[in-house]
Amino acid sequence: MTKNFLVVFGKCTGSNFSGHAPDVPGCVSAGDTLEEMRSMMREALEFHLQGLAEEGEALPEPKTQNVEFKPEDFEDVEYFVVQKLAVDVPAAEQLSSHQAA
């Protein structure tokens, strides 16, 4: 099953990109280019969600529709890219098979 999570990518001043998904706390990634960042963030989200499923934890739902930035958010960031990212999420039948094992 695929779900679309809102992700925030920040181009760090003089450095690489960082990324996070507001609906999946603790799941972050970094990459040298925006394209690499998209790929790495998708991989990080899928790995994070699979780990939650294997531990029997509830999976977060993609609810965030927009992000508000404050001036201090730009202190170490040149610009942000906010977009939805299609992520493979474990299906309910996968969850029950992992929990039964």
Q: Are 9 and 78 in contact (CB under 8 A)?
A: no
Total domains, the chain: 1
CA atoms within 13 A on the CB side of 84: 10
- What pLDDT was estimated at residue 92? 62
Weakest-pLDDT range from 1-15, 24-38, 54-68, 84-98:
84-98
CATH number of the structural domain spanning residue 24: 3.30.160.250
Read off the pLDDT of each residue in 69-97 and give the average, rounded to a whole number.
86
Structural domain of 32: 2-100
Q: pLDDT exceeding 70 applies to what percent of the chain?
A: 90
- What pLDDT was estimated at residue 91? 82
Answer whether residue 13 shows pLDDT above 60. yes
pLDDT digits (tens, 9 = 90+) for 86-96: 999 998 655 55
DSSP lists the bridge partners of residue 30 as 18
